[in-house]
Structure 1
Amino acid sequence: MMTVATIQPDMRWQFGSTLGDALRRCPLWAWAVLLTIVLAALSMMRPIDHDESQYVAAAVLSGEGLLPYRDYAYLQTPLQPLLFGPLARLLSEFAYPGLRLVNALLGALAIVFVYRAARAGGVPVRVAFAASALFAGTDILLFGTGLARNDALPLALFAGALWLIVAGGERRTPAAAVAIGLLLAAAAAAKASYALPAAAYGLWTLWDRSHRPFWVALGAAVPVALVLALADQAPEAFWFGAFVFPADAPEQYYAGGARAYKLTLGFRLLDLLKFSALGATLPALVVIVWRLRDARERVDTLLELLILASLLSAVLPEPTWRQYLLPVLPPLFLRLARIWRLSAPARRQRAVFALFAVAGLVPTLLAFGAAVTDGLPMTRALREGDAVEALLDAEAAHGPVATLAPHLLPATGRLPDRRFATGPFYFRSHGLLSHAEEGRFHLVSGARLAAGDLPRVVLLGGESQWAGGDSALEALVARVASARPVRVLSLSGTRLRVLLLGPPQAARARRSSKPS
């Protein structure tokens, strides 16, 4: 079982008396507020990313009372749009930046939870602060909590559960066990990659009954019941969105292109190494693996199990991206804090961690520099959205909009056409569904897109290189749209184009052939 070692803390740990005194004097809530402000500011400076498309669209559509799978396609497990839907409706035209700010807040909560978990495990203030700061400075966390994706919510839920697990000790109450099960299952309901560490903990409760497996299962039953209820509304669409597409679509997309090398095991391991090296993740892993050689250090078997399960969840998807490593970080840096509680890092080890910590800040500093030079990306996105809204209002065009960048639509005051709610990700696939299944699942692929599938308004320009997208996909939409009467509306000073489409030619021909 996980126990707190009785070895006395190594008093050689030196963190600087000035900082130590500041940590003791400043309350935790003040540090949390400061951390939230910093992460929120950084989220506004991060470039627009097409990865955000389906998450913003899903929140907006859920805010309108629609359900994932039944009413629109969603390519993840469903908790986030259900929770964020009311917020997106409240934020209205500011939904996109607002969702980024919410994720920044959740990222700050995750860091605070890791700190509190370390303190609950007997780690001194300065050591807990150091480990939490290293966690906060990883590029993995800064990226995952700086975008309107589905990374920050499950991370905060997982970190909160970890705090309760450590704080419970040997006298865990039924209420705490219910909360742990609820948080872990909710994390998996927001992102499937958290299912492995959640299952690992569930198995551990069967081994160590002091964790109260019945009450943990009772708490987990609530998110599980919610997911099953949604799945029952549209079982085939749920199975495709939550499991089939995440497993098959990335491999299909990369295997057929110039970046097929990203699917090879060697390159995936290289990616894992690269992302781990942008911050203290890699040296923390090295320290923990090295300490496993010493039998006296094996006091955190549960944390090591959670780290292993999280690493496995990061390795399984193809290709590998930095956000897949997020589940690893809370147990990893908590374990590091507990190691340093017993044995302070030597000067050389501290220098290595400082070097990697600086490396983790480089991508964010580059984004900060670009924002200072070129202006805030989010401010520009809102300004362009206002221009589109004014143009569409002048044309009395108020219906849904077809676009591969639905995250840009809230600022225009328009809803996405539900068939385009997944942004470019299903659109670029080939043959994953039949034509009939696409209709039932509210989807359309580029290979099957017909002029008659498009609504009156089409927004182009958001799925481009400046947002990490593929402009060839938008060129396909424009070619299909050209089969109908098209007016291109001028948007000077923006990166966007608006197409106003007339009725399909075939429909016009049928009407003109009717006898008067």
Structure 2
Amino acid sequence: MTAATIQPDGHRPFGLALREALRRRPPLVWAIALPILLALLSMVRPIDHDESQYVAAAVLSGEGFLPYRDYAYLQTPLQPLLFAPIVRVMGELAYPGLRLINALLGALAIFFVYRAARSARVPAGAALVASCLLASTDILLFGTGVARNDALPLVFFTGALWLILAGETRRTPAMAAAIGLLLAAAAAVKASYALPAAAYGMWALWHRDHRPLWVALGAAVPTGLVLLLAAQAPDAFLFGAFTFPADAPAQYYASGGRAYKLTLGFRVLDLLKFLALGAALPALAVVAWPRLRRARTDTLLDVLILAGLLSAVLPEPTWRQYLLPVLPPLFLRLARIWRIEAPGAKQRAIFAVFAFAGLVPTLLALGAAARDGVPMARALREGDAIQRILDAEQATGPVATLAPHLLPAAARLPDRRFASGPFYFRSKGLLPADDEARFHLISAAQLRPSDLPGIVLLGGEGQWAGGDPALDALVARVAAARPMRVLQLEGSSLRVLLLGPPHAARTRPRVSSNPS
């Protein structure tokens, strides 16, 4: 250290001390602040109807029901099984609890990317910057801020990447088996991770030092669990995990006058838009720039980036969460480049602008929460009000609703035919009536007054939650064929219908707006 770096009081300048701290380890304040910040952001994010089937599935699994056999689940099945005991303990706080779990998993995934970069011999400063750029993308902030199935597979995937890069110097059989287990577990939670997992499997077969047999043995554990669940209800599994995700979104957008979103050109534009909400787009440009120097680790990361991009563009239409498998290998690759080629001032400014752009949707959500109140707090208050109403009426049993994520706070279970929220309900002709009954599903076209249980919750499938209020209106019209009382929650769009027996008098029911 030269005399120029010493201040008169004998202390080093703050900038130099910070750089030296970063070279040793990520600051403790960062490790503590990140999960707290993501947890707080998860509470202020607006309620999203996308969360419906994931909350319902975890709650039903917590009650001992199995996906496919006992209720319809429109994804691969691992998440509700893993979350079931946690949700069981959380009880009425299951919905915000699942958001908090996903936020903590998001922080853990970012930490795994940092550790993976350090294992790839990236200096601490560059590894930390790359991890923070990952954390600032709207793709990650959305995926880890709602109760969907995005954060859990991301943790499995980033954990596998850490082990893959750490094993470049010495890969043990146990490490290879853990990599296989984590990659297969990610695909067992969300099918979009299957392509990156398969890409690594092919890489391991080609590069035998990755111990492909041990990788396969590790992957056999979650794969066997999925096959075991599939064997219980094979037709329902094939429909929920493969047929519905392939056919239903295209049908919905084609029939809704938005078929343009299904075209390849528009999907590519959407992909670029989502990548631009954060530093992923400039990172992709830097990584794609031709370079003569390319280590084997870099090539593997490039393969995983391409597999993630292919996985993101295949579904119709393209949504931001589909790009999550791209981000970890992308920012690891960027950190590896910066290890050799430090970014100049112009490049740093570009990355700063895009990183801020990634934060804008979250900042807007913060502003809306400051103006209108915290959405999750309101959801809990409304759930408590629903519970008090139903308890006062001594109304028990399952609840038919297109917003089953709102039911845990009311201490009620969803009718299992409505556990998939609005997503199957709005489909048209994907299954005949007999198969709907076998798969525990019901569509708007097949809904009859006698299909509804004694309690119906309406108002959760609205534009305020990203939904279609016409679907709730259809349920209300069908319910009107039965005697009922309408209990409107004060100051809320939610209302509870208490229905009489289907065979009762067919006169127009007496309607009350007084919840007392």
Calculate the TM-score normalised by the size of structure 1: 0.94
The alignment partner of 1:295 has SS state of coil
Q: Which amino acid aligns with 1:334?
A: L
> 1:98 maps to what in 2?
97
1:157-306 mapped onto 2 (5 Å cutoff):
157-290=156-289, 293-297=290-294, 299=296, 300-306=298-304
Once the two structures are superposed, residues 480-501 of structure 1 have per-residue CA deviations (whole angstroms, 9 ceiling, x without a partner) of: 0001001101311222100000
> 1:338 maps to what in 2?
336
The alignment partner of 1:458 has SS state of strand
The alignment partner of 1:319 has SS state of coil
Q: Which amino acid aligns with 1:294?
A: R
The alignment partner of 1:297 has SS state of coil
Q: In 2 relative to 1, CA 181–264 (structure 1 residues): closer, same or farther, beyond 3 Å?
A: same
> 1:8 maps to what in 2?
none
How far 1:114 sits from its partner (Å)? 0.4
The alignment partner of 1:345 has SS state of coil
Contact 1:158 1:187 in 2 (8 A): yes
The alignment partner of 1:193 has SS state of helix
Q: Which amino acid aligns with 1:427?
A: F
Q: In 2 relative to 1, CA 499–124 (structure 1 residues): closer, same or farther, beyond 3 Å?
A: same
Contact 1:387 1:491 in 2 (8 A): yes
How far 1:23 sits from its partner (Å)? 3.0
> 1:132 maps to what in 2?
131
The alignment partner of 1:56 has SS state of helix
Using the alignment, how far apart are the partners of 1:63 and 1:507 within structure 2? 38
The alignment partner of 1:107 has SS state of helix
Contact 1:277 1:356 in 2 (8 A): yes
Using the alignment, how far apart are the partners of 1:24 and 1:394 within structure 2? 62
How far 1:97 sits from its partner (Å)? 0.2
Using the alignment, how far apart are the partners of 2:284 and 2:15 within structure 1? 25
Using the alignment, how far apart are the partners of 1:178 and 1:114 within structure 2? 20
Q: Which amino acid aligns with 1:122?
A: R
The alignment partner of 2:445 has SS state of coil
Range moving further from structure 2, 126-135 or 23-32: 23-32
Q: Which runs of 5+ in 1 are unaligned?
A: 1-14, 510-516
Q: 2:435 aligns with which of 426, 437, 444?
A: 437
> 1:60 maps to what in 2?
59
Q: Which amino acid aligns with 1:297?
A: R
Q: Which amino acid aligns with 1:80?
A: Q
How far 1:258 sits from its partner (Å)? 2.3
1:316-331 mapped onto 2 (5 Å cutoff):
316-331=314-329
The alignment partner of 1:500 has SS state of strand
How far 1:25 sits from its partner (Å)? 6.9
> 1:400 maps to what in 2?
398
Using the alignment, how far apart are the partners of 1:506 and 1:320 within structure 2? 47
Using the alignment, how far apart are the partners of 2:18 and 2:48 within structure 1? 37
Q: Which amino acid aligns with 1:296?
A: R
Q: Which runs of 5+ in 2 are unaligned?
A: 1-13, 508-516
How far 1:24 sits from its partner (Å)? 5.0
> 1:353 maps to what in 2?
351
How far 1:297 sits from its partner (Å)? 3.3
Q: In 2 relative to 1, CA 29–227 (structure 1 residues): closer, same or farther, beyond 3 Å?
A: farther
Once the two structures are superposed, residues 94-152 of structure 1 have per-residue CA deviations (whole angstroms, 9 ceiling, x without a partner) of: 00000000000110011000000000010001000010000000000000000000000
1:358-369 mapped onto 2 (5 Å cutoff):
358-369=356-367
Q: Which amino acid aligns with 2:492?
A: T
Using the alignment, how far apart are the partners of 1:248 and 1:27 within structure 2? 45
> 1:459 maps to what in 2?
457
Once the two structures are superposed, residues 442-481 of structure 1 have per-residue CA deviations (whole angstroms, 9 ceiling, x without a partner) of: 0000011000000000000100010000000000000000
Using the alignment, how far apart are the partners of 1:27 and 1:357 within structure 2? 20
Using the alignment, how far apart are the partners of 1:16 and 1:65 within structure 2? 55
Q: Which amino acid aligns with 1:472?
A: A
Using the alignment, how far apart are the partners of 1:84 and 1:29 within structure 2? 29
> 1:5 maps to what in 2?
none
How far 1:72 sits from its partner (Å)? 0.1
Using the alignment, how far apart are the partners of 1:18 and 1:50 within structure 2? 47
How far 1:31 sits from its partner (Å)? 2.6
How far 1:17 sits from its partner (Å)? 3.4
The alignment partner of 1:447 has SS state of helix
> 1:512 maps to what in 2?
none
Q: 1:390 aligns with which of 388, 391, 404?
A: 388
Calculate the TM-score normalised by the size of structure 2: 0.94
Range moving further from structure 2, 200-209 or 30-39: 30-39
Using the alignment, how far apart are the partners of 1:134 and 1:508 within structure 2? 61
How far 1:20 sits from its partner (Å)? 2.0
> CA RMSD of the aligned region, Å?
1.5
Using the alignment, how far apart are the partners of 1:18 and 1:53 within structure 2? 48
Contact 1:170 1:210 in 2 (8 A): no
1:420 is the counterpart of 2:418 = yes
How far 1:30 sits from its partner (Å)? 4.7
Using the alignment, how far apart are the partners of 2:288 and 2:212 within structure 1? 29
Using the alignment, how far apart are the partners of 1:377 and 1:196 within structure 2? 36
Contact 2:402 2:418 in 1 (8 A): yes
How far 1:387 sits from its partner (Å)? 0.4
Contact 1:483 1:505 in 2 (8 A): no
The alignment partner of 2:453 has SS state of coil
Once the two structures are superposed, residues 144-182 of structure 1 have per-residue CA deviations (whole angstroms, 9 ceiling, x without a partner) of: 000000000000100000000000114200010010000
How far 1:259 sits from its partner (Å)? 1.6
Kindly report structure 1 stretches of 4+ aligned residues shifted beyond 4 Å.
24-30, 506-509
Using the alignment, how far apart are the partners of 1:28 and 1:173 within structure 2? 30
Q: Which amino acid aligns with 1:173?
A: T
Q: Which amino acid aligns with 2:105?
A: L
Using the alignment, how far apart are the partners of 1:105 and 1:484 within structure 2? 45
The alignment partner of 1:325 has SS state of helix
How far 1:261 sits from its partner (Å)? 1.3
Q: In 2 relative to 1, CA 45–198 (structure 1 residues): closer, same or farther, beyond 3 Å?
A: same
Contact 2:181 2:222 in 1 (8 A): yes
Using the alignment, how far apart are the partners of 2:408 and 2:188 within structure 1? 25
Q: In 2 relative to 1, CA 307–235 (structure 1 residues): closer, same or farther, beyond 3 Å?
A: same
> 1:11 maps to what in 2?
none
Using the alignment, how far apart are the partners of 1:384 and 1:443 within structure 2? 27
Using the alignment, how far apart are the partners of 2:138 and 2:274 within structure 1? 8
Range moving further from structure 2, 382-391 or 252-261: 252-261
Q: Which amino acid aligns with 2:272?
A: L
> 2:7 maps to what in 1?
none
